Amino acid sequence: MNKFLSAALLATLTAAPAFAGGTHGGGHHDEMEVGKPGEAAHADREIAVTMKETDDGEMIFEPSSFSFTKGETVKFVITNAGELEHEFVLDTPERNVHHKELMAKMDMEHDDPNSVRLDPGAAGEIVWTFSNPGTFEFACLIPGHYESGMSGPVAVLEAGGTFTAGTVKKVDPKSGKVTIKHEELVDLEMPAMTMVFRVADDAMLDQLKAGENIEFVAERVKGKLTLIALK
Ligand SMILES: [Cu+2]
Ligand 1 centroid from CA 63, angstroms: 15
Q: What is the pLDDT of residue 12?
A: 39
Ligand 1 centroid from CA 121, angstroms: 13
Ligand 1 centroid from CA 97, angstroms: 15
Lowest average pLDDT, out of 84-88, 106-110, 206-210, goes to: 106-110
Ligand 1 centroid from CA 141, angstroms: 7
Nearest Cα neighbor of 119 from 142, 85, 87, 77 is 85
Ligand 1 centroid from CA 146, angstroms: 7
Is the confidence at residue 11, as pLDDT, over 50? Answer: no
Task: Report pLDDT digits (tens) over 109-152.
Answer: 767 899 999 999 999 999 999 999 888 999 999 999 999 999 99
Ligand 1 centroid from CA 182, angstroms: 39
Ligand 1 centroid from CA 136, angstroms: 18
Q: For residues 117 and 142, give the distance between their C-alpha atoms in angstroms, rounded to a whole number.
A: 9
Q: What is the pLDDT of residue 202?
A: 78
> Tell me, what DSSP letter sits at residue 205?
H
Ligand 1 centroid from CA 51, angstroms: 7
Ligand 1 centroid from CA 21, angstroms: 26
Neighbours of 158 (CB within 10 A): 15
Ligand 1 centroid from CA 87, angstroms: 5
Is the confidence at residue 9, as pLDDT, over 70? Answer: no
Q: What is the pLDDT of residue 212?
A: 94
What integer is the mean pLDDT of 31-55?
94
Tell me the average pLDDT of the chain.
Answer: 85
Ligand 1 centroid from CA 210, angstroms: 37
pTM for the full model? 0.64
What integer is the mean pLDDT of 71-98?
96
Q: For residues 90 and 191, give the distance between their C-alpha atoms in angstroms, rounded to a whole number.
A: 34
Task: Report pLDDT digits (tens) over 188-214.
Answer: 889 999 999 998 777 788 889 999 999
What percent of the chain shows pLDDT beyond 90?
Answer: 58
Domains identified in the chain and CATH numbers: 3-157 (2.60.40.420), 164-230 (2.40.50.320)
Is the confidence at residue 15, as pLDDT, over 70? Answer: no
Q: What is the pLDDT of residue 147?
A: 95
What percent of the chain shows pLDDT beyond 70?
Answer: 86
Ligand 1 centroid from CA 139, angstroms: 8
Q: For residues 25 and 27, give the distance between their C-alpha atoms in angstroms, rounded to a whole number.
A: 7
Ligand 1 centroid from CA 186, angstroms: 39
